[in-house]
A and B are shown apart, each in its own frame.
Chain A
Amino acid sequence: MARLVFLGRLADLAGAGERAVEPGPLAEVLALLPPDLAIALLDERVRIALNGELVGGPESIVLRPGDELAFLPPVSGG
């Protein structure tokens, strides 16, 4: 399994801070999520981190077993 992590208000939308998913291309992973959550995750202001490293965009991501993909909405600061 791989893991999606939701920060900030995305956690409320997802109903949990994280969710275990089957590995595979991200587009296929997102297609199995509730549509409103998938749309929110693909908002251009949401940054993405794969295994703790920021990555450019969701297009080319393929989740492998054990991967952690975090969705980071705009921060509200310290």
Chain B
Amino acid sequence: MATEVHLLTHPFHPGQYVGPFTTAHPGLGGVCTFVGEVRGENGVEALELSHYEPLTLPGMKALAQRAVARFGLMGILVVHRSGVMLPGEPIVCVSAVASHRRAAFDAVDFAMDHLKSDSWFWKREKRCGTWRWIDPRPDDYAARDRW
């Protein structure tokens, strides 16, 4: 299986996904994994991601396939949370397996930049008991446009 994509509404342990994913690709030359977690800085009490079922998961799958094709990967794993998360909980895990390390590094970077700027997620955070929507940042678009 070249791509493995999960959209979860419950907490997850990245290792439970990365372990079986890498063992499913014997003969790999390198695996690169990134895990993003909810930052606990600036008094953030919780983060909530919402998604739109008909678009979000298909968009993630299309992104995974683009990454495989572009970097010649053996496979890519994308796991993303939706729902309410607490500081320290993983939001996203991307893992790429390839014959050579550079493709794996670059594919994870590429996938993260596109997940941050293009994916169908809406994010709000709770501080001091009040929820506030998070607007897209120019930095996110600039990161995507590097590719």
Q: Please report A residues at the B interface, Cβ cutoff 8 Å.
A: 5, 7-9, 11-12, 49, 51-54, 70, 72-78
B52/A76 in contact, CB under 8 A:
no
How many A-B Cβ pairs are below 8 Å? Answer: 62
Chain B residues with CB under 8 A of A77: 115-117, 119, 121, 123, 136-137, 140
Known: A8-B50, A77-B119, A78-B92. 15 other contacts (CB 8 A): A7-B120, A49-B54, A52-B54, A52-B55, A54-B55, A72-B52, A75-B120, A76-B122, A76-B123, A76-B136, A77-B116, A77-B137, A77-B140, A78-B36, A78-B91
Chain A residues with CB under 8 A of B134: 76
- Measured in the bound complex, the distance between the Cα atoms of B36 and A5 in whole Å is 29
B55/A75 in contact, CB under 8 A:
no
Q: List 26 A-B contacts (CB under 8 A).
A: A7-B52, A9-B122, A49-B52, A49-B54, A52-B55, A53-B54, A54-B55, A70-B52, A70-B54, A72-B120, A73-B122, A74-B136, A75-B117, A75-B118, A75-B119, A75-B120, A75-B122, A76-B121, A76-B122, A76-B133, A76-B136, A77-B117, A77-B121, A77-B123, A77-B137, A78-B115
Q: Which of A12, A49, A78 contacts B55 (CB 8 A)?
A: A49
Q: How many residues on chain B are close to A (CB under 8 Å)?
A: 25
- Measured in the bound complex, the distance between the Cα atoms of B41 and A53 in whole Å is 38
Tell me if B49 counts as interface (CB < 8 A to partner A).
yes
- Measured in the bound complex, the distance between the Cα atoms of B118 and A58 in whole Å is 21
B122/A8 in contact, CB under 8 A:
yes
Q: Mark B29-67, 1 if CB is under 8 A from A, else 0.
A: 000000010000000000001101011000000000000
B54/A7 in contact, CB under 8 A:
no
Chain B residues with CB under 8 A of A74: 135-136
- Measured in the bound complex, the distance between the Cα atoms of B134 and A11 in whole Å is 14
